[in-house]
C-alpha cells in the first residue's frame, strides 16, 4: 500500500505531535488526530462524511499503541492510580464495543463532528474555569466507577478520542491530583482504544475500500505511520507533564480543545 512522500511526511509530523500530547495531557492523541486526519482524507478525495468516520476509527486504532508508550512512562513515575483503572476499565470496554460495533455505523459523519466539537468545548471550558470541587468529594465506589467508564467508552468510541475529555474532568471534579489525572487517563486510553477498534472492525467489515490501504473504517497507512512516529514522543510528553505547573497544564489542555472544537464545527458545516 504505497503512499506519496508528501502524505507520509504529514502523517509522520502528525504522529510526532500527537504522541507528545498523549504523554503530556493523557489524551491519547485522538483529539488532535481526528481533525487533521479528516483534512488529510478529504484532500485525498474521500467524501466528507466518510472522512470524519475514517478519521475517528483510524485515530482510535493508533491510540492502542500510543497509550501503551505513554502509560509505561507515567507508570515508571508511580503516577497511575491502578485502583481507579481497575474500577473504570470494565465499563469502558462495554461502552467502547457498543459504540464501535453499533452506534458508530448508524450516525452520519457530520453528526459525529458536531458531538465531537461539543464535548471538546465543554471539556475545555471546565478546565479553563478551574472550578474547585468541594474538598469532601471523592471518587465513587466500584459500581459508580464502572458506570462512568461505560459513558467514557461510549463517547470515546463515537469520537475517536482516548477518553480523557471525560475522565480527566471527572477525576479532577473528584479531587484527584492533576498529574495523577493525566497519568490515569493515559492508562485508561488502552482499554478504550482496544474495545472501540474491535467495534469498528465489526461495523466496517463489508465497507468498500475508498483508498488503497483502507480496510473498513480504518486507513492502514496512517495507522502504521502515526503509531510508529507517536510511540517515540509519548515518553517525552510524559516527562514534560511532570515538570509542568498544574495550572499551566490545564490551560494548555483547554487551549488545544477549543481550537479543535472550532475546526470540527467547520468540518461538520462543510460536510
* pLDDT value of residue 73: 72
* pLDDT value of residue 254: 77
* φ/ψ of residue 98, rounded to 5: -60, -45
For the chain, the domain total comes to 1
Positive or negative torsion for Cα 39, 57, 53, 236 = negative
* pLDDT value of residue 150: 87
* pLDDT value of residue 244: 67
Q: How far apart are CA 53 and CA 35, in angstroms?
A: 11
* pLDDT value of residue 247: 66
| Number of Cβ within a 10 Å radius of residue 118 | 14
Q: How far apart are CA 69 and CA 22, in angstroms?
A: 9
Q: How far apart are CA 153 and CA 191, in angstroms?
A: 9
Q: Which regions of the chain are under pLDDT 50?
A: none
In degrees to the nearest 10, what's the CA dihedral of 25, 26, 29, 30? -120
Domain residues for the domain of 135 are 5-270
* pLDDT value of residue 236: 78
Q: How far apart are CA 118 and CA 124, in angstroms?
A: 10
* pLDDT value of residue 40: 84
Q: How far apart are CA 192 and CA 64, in angstroms?
A: 8
* pLDDT value of residue 206: 77
pLDDT digits (tens, 9 = 90+) for 172-185: 778 888 778 878 88
Quote the pTM value.
Answer: 0.71
* Cell numbers describing residue 181: 489525572
* pLDDT value of residue 148: 84
* pLDDT value of residue 239: 75
Q: How far apart are CA 41 and CA 209, in angstroms?
A: 13
Question: In 3D, which of 191, 196, 202, 201 has the Cα closest to residue 90?
Answer: 191
* pLDDT value of residue 135: 72
Question: In 3D, which of 178, 123, 127 has the Cα closest to residue 152?
Answer: 123
* pLDDT value of residue 164: 66
Q: How far apart are CA 191 and CA 211, in angstroms?
A: 28
* pLDDT value of residue 1: 52
Are the beta carbons of 26 and 73 closer than 8 angstroms?
Answer: no
Q: How far apart are CA 74 and CA 271, in angstroms?
A: 39
Location of C-alpha cell 488502552: 190
DSSP 135-171: TT-----HHHHHHHHHHHHHHHHHHT--SHHHHHHHH
Strand partners, 218: 215
Positive or negative torsion for Cα 251, 252, 258, 259 = positive
Amino acid at each position: 500500500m504505497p503512499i506519496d512522500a508528501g502524505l507520509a511526511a504529514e502523517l509522520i509530523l502528525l504522529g510526532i505531535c500527537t504522541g507528545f500530547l498523549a504523554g503530556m495531557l493523557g489524551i491519547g492523541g485522538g483529539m488532535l488526530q481526528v481533525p487533521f486526519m479528516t483534512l488529510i482524507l478529504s484532500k485525498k478525495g474521500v467524501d466528507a462524511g466518510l472522512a470524519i468516520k475514517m478519521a475517528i476509527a483510524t485515530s482510535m486504532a493508533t491510540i492502542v499503541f500510543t497509550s501503551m508508550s505513554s502509560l509505561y512512562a507515567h507508570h515508571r513515575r508511580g503516577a497511575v492510580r491502578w485502583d481507579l483503572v481497575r474500577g473504570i476499565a470494565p465499563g469502558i470496554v462495554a461502552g467502547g464495543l457498543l459504540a464501535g460495533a453499533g452506534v458508530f455505523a448508524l450516525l452520519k459523519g457530520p453528526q459525529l463532528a458536531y458531538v465531537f466539537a461539543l464535548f471538546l468545548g465543554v471539556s475545555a471550558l471546565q478546565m479553563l474555569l478551574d472550578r474547585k470541587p468541594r474538598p469532601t468529594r471523592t471518587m465513587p465506589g466500584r459500581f459508580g466507577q464502572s458506570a462512568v467508564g461505560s459513558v467514557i467508552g461510549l463517547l470515546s468510541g463515537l469520537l475517536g478520542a482516548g477518553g480523557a475529555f471525560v475522565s480527566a474532568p471527572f477525576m479532577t471534579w473528584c479531587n484527584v491530583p492533576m498529574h495523577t489525572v493525566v497519568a490515569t487517563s493515559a492508562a485508561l486510553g488502552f482499554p478504550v482504544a482496544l474495545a472501540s477498534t474491535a467495534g469498528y472492525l465489526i461495523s466496517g467489515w463489508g465497507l468498500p475500500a475508498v483508498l488503497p490501504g483502507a480496510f473498513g473504517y480504518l486507513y492502514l497507512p496512517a495507522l502504521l505511520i502515526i503509531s510508529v512516529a507517536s510511540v517515540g514522543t509519548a515518553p517525552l510528553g510524559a516527562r514534560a507533564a511532570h515538570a509542568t505547573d498544574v495550572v499551566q497544564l490545564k490551560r494548555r489542555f483547554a487551549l488545544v480543545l477549543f481550537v479543535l472544537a472550532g475546526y470540527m464545527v467547520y468540518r461538520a458545516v462543510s460536510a
